[in-house]
Amino acid sequence: MLEILDTLVQGALLGGLFALYALGLSLVFGVMRIVNIAHGDLIVLTAYFALVVCETFGIHPFLALVVVLPVAAVAGWLLQFSLFERVPRKEPLVPLLVAFGLTIIIQNVLLIEFGADPQKLNAGPIEQMSIEPLPGLHVGLFSLLIFATAAVLILGLQTLIYRTGFGRILRAVSDSETSAAMLGVDTKRVFRKAFALVMAIVAIAAILMAIKTNYDPASGPTRLLAAFEAVVIGGLGNLWGTFAGGIVIGVAQMIGAKIDASWQLLAGHIVFLVILVARPSGLFPKREG
Amino acid sequence: MKASDNTLSLLLLASAALVLAPLPLFVGNGTLRYLTDLCLLIAVAQLWNLLAGYGGIVSIGQHAFVGAGAYAFFGFAVLTGIHPFVAMALTLPFGMLLSVPVFAVVIRLRTAYFAIGSWVVAEVLSLTAGKLPGFGGGSGFSMPPDVVRAFGSDVTSRIHNVYWLALAILVAIVFLIIKILNSRHGLALKAIRDNETAAMALGVNPVVAKAVLFMISGGFLALLGAVNTLQKLRINPTASFSLTDWTVFIIFIVVIGGIGRIWGPIIGAVLFVVLRENLSGYGSAYMILLGAVAIVMMLVEPGGIAALLSRGWSRIVRVRPGSVSKPIAEGHRLTP
């Protein structure tokens, strides 16, 4: 019984990490209508940048966020300004293939710079700390921190999107780019800001991931697929749904891993496909209006 | 595409086949193996182009069918022991059948998300292949000598036969694609690409139209995967289902060569293997170069090198007034 509960809790906490990966992907698609295949690779690239910052200054990964987050945000702004802004989006094919090219470039630049060895950030004693809410059930403090961060970020994003002026503009552009432009919205500026926001979230996700898991230059796609599955299961455009989707995939992977380590990824993918067949628009489709 | 262009394409295809078929009499085994690889690459690229360029289906899971074909060939020929020729032929219907459930699941995702969905399916198939009993698990299996020998008793005759096999399949695929584009089905695809809603109003069912393309591509990819085992002489979940070889390279080949044009994959594949020969020592740098060229191509000329060439050709042709010959690729524009 305790073992089952343990698997569920560990799975749910892993899902928090997937939700973190997924938030940026969801925003890029929601606002810019671009399926950013390079999303996972952007997370891994940022994690390598965090590694460099930690090693250069000899600082704790949490402190490195002070440098990594603003740099990532500026990089996001520049990426939109110099690349995605110039991509015709009339057909989904073109931005998709541009992002695909970016994926291969990032992976191979990392491979040349850092080699194929797996990396990890060291956050010190917090990685080993755990609490015991029930006798025999140990919950890692760091995993809880990731889970809480995902929840706080979603809460923050919801507030930003539904309660602020910038959020109103984001929603307008997301609904109809042309109408928003006609009403005087500078959509290019909105997109650049949105991509900066996405990369700021990616910075947080990247540092937490780099402490929690090993990563190497080819790790991007597994992150992308987990994020994608969370977004689709949760229902497109529903951030809390994405969180729930992440938890579903996390629990599925943990149950798979219980059977055999090699079943972890496969179990997640299979549950995703089953849900896709049963509920094509996700478990929590966004209600209109 | 006009009827005259259609005839011209078919004539060019026939003459290309006539030139390429007798090559084993003139060139060495090394060159021939190299040409066989080229035929396989062009064929897989033609199939990806059929989906993306004409059907509007962007798949990042094509390697799933190539790998499944290799495994099916091994399963039929080695595990059930039927004749290797029959086993190879069976991979075509096997791939078509496999593509039905795959398509049925992934088509539930909106157009743009289809790409990642197909990638998930490919992951599932490749991970499953490593778990199938009798297929050697994670390390795979070598093709047994008696299966390989069925395709030629000595090395030279085998290399000749595999070359002819790959060439024949490639010619069949290109022939089929030209035929499809000139059929009612091709017209329906064009209508869907221009305006899906309007096409539906005229009685075209986009899902069925796309499903047909997906099945054709799935079947031939499996067959090509089976032929490829005769080049590689083994099956393995990572190598047979190689994302890099059968999807990443293929996408670059089509994008750089010219998406939505019959010449695109051919130009792209030839350029790809020539560059690979000269830059293979650079590994990662070569991949970065390919990625960068593909991005620039998408931004500057989404029609690829084929579009650039056909534009240049039109300019030359226009010099002589009265000349009506139009470049063949002109009919396959991505955006009309």
What local confidence, expressed as pLDDT, does residue B159 receive?
Answer: 93
What does the alpha-carbon distance between residue A164 and residue A187 come to, in Å, rounded to a whole number?
17
Name the residue facing A101 among B259, B295, B335 (closest C-beta). Answer: B295
A111 interfacial to chain B (CB closer than 8 Å): yes
Rounded average pLDDT over A145-173:
94
Mutation to test the B interface, candidates A81, A269, A286, most B Cβ within 10 Å: A269
Nearest to B215 by CA among B97, B309, B90: B97
Which residue type sits at B290? L
CB pairs under 8 A between A and B: 115
Read off the pLDDT of residues A47-64 as tens digits, 9 standing for 90 and up: 999 999 999 999 999 999
DSSP state letters, B245-292: IIIIHHHHHHHHH-TTSSSHHHHHHHHHHHHHHHHGGGTHHHHHHHHH
> How far is B54 from B51, CA to CA, in rounded Å?
6
Q: In this predicted structure, what is the pLDDT of residue B113?
A: 84
How far apart are the CA of B125 and the nearest CA of chain A, in angstroms?
Answer: 9
> Closest-CA residue in chain A for B127?
A266
Q: Which spans in A83-140 are helix H?
A: 93-114
**pLDDT tier at A226 (50, 70, 90 boundaries)?**
very high
Rounded CA gap, A94 and A90, in Å?
Answer: 8
Q: Are A280 and B108 within 8 A, CB to CB?
A: yes
Q: How many CB atoms lie within 10 A of CB A89?
A: 14
- Rounded Cα distance, B240 and B221, in Å: 12
Q: How far apart are CA A270 and CA A183, in angstroms?
A: 45
Place of tokens 């221009």: B194
Residue range A243-281, pLDDT digits in tens: 999 999 999 999 999 998 889 999 999 999 999 988 888
Could you tell me if A41 lies within 8 Å of chain B, comparing CB atoms? no
Cross-strand bridge partners of residue A140:
A130
pTM of the prediction? 0.90
Structure tokens at A84: 């995605």
Residues 6+ apart with CB under 8 A from B79: B134
Residues in contact with A190: Cβ distance below 8 Å, sequence separation at least 6, in sequence order = A31, A169, A170, A173, A180
Structure tokens at A238: 């529903």
pLDDT digits (tens, 9 = 90+) for A28-46: 888 888 889 999 999 999 9
pLDDT digits (tens, 9 = 90+) for A198-208: 999 999 999 99
Residue of A nearest to B282 (CA): A112
pLDDT given for residue B236 in this prediction: 92
Q: Where are the beta strands (DSSP E) in B4-155?
A: 141-142
CB-count burial class (<10 Å; 0-12, 13-18, 19+) for A128: exposed
pLDDT at B332: 43
d(CA B322, CA B293): 37
Flag the least confident range among A219-223, A234-238, A264-268: A234-238
Nearest CA in chain B to A98: B295
Distance CA B53, CA B4 (A): 22
Q: How far apart are CA A145 and CA A123, in angstroms?
A: 13
Q: Which residues of B touch A (CB under 8 A)?
A: 52, 56, 58, 60, 105, 108-113, 115-117, 119-121, 123-124, 127-128, 130-131, 248, 251-252, 255, 259, 284-285, 287-288, 290-292, 294-295, 298-299, 302, 334-335
pLDDT tens digits for chain B (336 residues)? 455 667 888 888 888 888 888 888 888 888 999 999 999 999 999 999 999 999 888 999 999 999 999 999 999 999 998 999 999 999 999 999 999 999 999 998 876 688 999 999 999 999 999 999 889 888 889 999 889 889 988 989 999 999 999 999 999 999 999 999 988 888 888 888 878 888 888 888 888 999 999 999 999 999 999 999 999 999 999 999 999 999 999 999 999 999 999 999 999 999 999 888 888 777 889 899 999 999 999 898 888 999 998 888 877 776 554 444 444 444 444 443
Residues in chain A with CB shorter than 8 Å from the CB of B112 are: 29, 33-35, 92, 96
- Joined tokens for residue A35: 């399926």
Q: How does DSSP classify residue B321? A: T
B5: alpha, beta or left, given left = phi > 0 and alpha = psi -120 to 50? alpha
- The token pair that represents A229 in the structure block: 């599955």
CB contact under 8 A, B302 and A94: yes
- Give yes or no for a contact between B164 and B33, defined as CB atoms under 8 angstroms apart: no
Mean pLDDT of chain A: 92
* Sequence-distant (≥ 6) Cβ neighbours of residue B28 within 8 angstroms: none
Beta carbons of A281 and A272 less than 8 angstroms apart: no
pLDDT of residue B3: 54
Q: Which of B112, B121, B123 sits opposite A96 (nearest CB)?
A: B112
Q: Would strands B234-235 and B141-142 be described as parallel, antiparallel, or unpaired?
A: antiparallel
Which pLDDT score is estimated for A285? Answer: 78
* Residue A280 exposed, middle or buried by CB count within 10 Å (0-12, 13-18, 19+): middle
Q: How many CB atoms lie within 10 A of CB A247?
A: 24
Residue B326: per-residue pLDDT? 42
Whether the predicted pLDDT of A113 surpasses 50:
yes
Identify the closest residue of chain A to B290 by CA–CA distance: A101
Radius of gyration of chain B (CA): 20
